[in-house]
Structure 1
Amino acid sequence: MSAATTTEDDAIGTRAWAILFAAWALALIASLGALFIGEVMGQAPCSLCWHQRAFMFPLPVLLAVACYRSDTDIWRYVLPLATIGWLVAGWHSLLFYGVVSEAIQPCAASGPSCSGDAMMLGWAPLPMLSFLTFTAILILMTLLARGGRKA
């Protein structure tokens, strides 16, 4: 094996690890943020938030192990979880912005409302933050799945 091939493989490995680390950091920040909002701030999550958490919370653990082992095949497990979470967060965002009718709103009957001020974190609504985080993780996992191949 030539020195150029080894250098190229090292660059691809470093890039893959950086992608894994970025996805792990995003998932960890999102999970800790959800726990902070629920446990420290005392804001009860609606049912759609619970579903999003169910798909976000395993990601920091999976991605941490993948970072430790430099496992670039983790995308096979992360993509399905992140895709389902992305779909729920997208639905929740549509509900928050009033695109989806309130007649089919799953969280107003019992628990917090999806459209209240409690769903805001500063300037950004929580459903949109979740949607953007899942989007970023999906993009990173797609890049990881492509490996070192060029566009």
Structure 2
Amino acid sequence: MTKKLENSLLMMWVVALVATLGSLYFSEVRGYEPCELCWYQRILMYPLVIITTVAYIQKNARIAVLTAVFACIGGSISLYHYGIQKLDFLSESAPACGRVPCTGMYINWAGFITIPFLALTAFILIAAISFYMLKVLKEEK
């Protein structure tokens, strides 16, 4: 495996780990109860830490297909979640999300950075790295 692919796996692992630790910080330290859409995003982010750890140890860049799928699905959920927080026409028709409303914002840094925005950023980074890895793998053939 080339150094480019190895470094890409490491970067992907760092992004997934930071996102996972960040979500755990918000829920376990700050006491912010996750809404239903937050749980779906966590379900897609948390395994990426384990998947990328194993892939890095095994030097398996082919895992990029799986990480791209997880990131695209997770990013879609994050984008929708961010939309129902920030866009009036979506928030008015947002489904009930359980005990915690999905339209609620525990943080709103600089007027646009919310928890779903942070998750979306992580998913976009992981997807971009995954697609880059797939491109490098294709070029190596």
Shorter-chain TM-score range: 0.7 to 0.9
Residue of structure 2 in register with 1:25 after alignment = 14
Whether contact under 8 Å (1:94, 1:100) holds in the other structure is: no
Residue of structure 2 in register with 1:3 after alignment = none
State the AA in 2 paired with 1:89.
S
Deviations 1:88-136 (A, max 9, x none): 001011111125433431345x32233434143x432111111111001
Distance 1:128 1:55 in 2: 15
Residue of structure 2 in register with 1:64 after alignment = 53
- Is 1:118 aligned to residue 118 of structure 2? no
Pick from 3, 7, 26: which aligns with 1:37? 26
Residue of structure 2 in register with 1:6 after alignment = none
User: Structure 1: which 5+ residue stretches go unaligned?
Assistant: 1-11
Residue of structure 2 in register with 1:141 after alignment = 130
Percentage of identical aligned residues: 26
Whether contact under 8 Å (2:16, 2:48) holds in the other structure is: yes
Cα RMSD of the aligned pairs, angstroms, is: 1.9
State the AA in 2 paired with 1:80.
V
Distance 1:117 1:76, change over 3 A: closer
State the AA in 1 paired with 2:18.
I
Correspondence list, 1:93-132, <5 A: 93-107=82-96, 110-120=98-108, 122-123=109-110, 124-132=113-121
Give, in angstroms, the shift of residue 69 of structure 1.
1.2
The structure whose Rg is larger is: 1
Give, in angstroms, the shift of residue 39 of structure 1.
1.0
Distance 1:107 1:36 in 2: 25
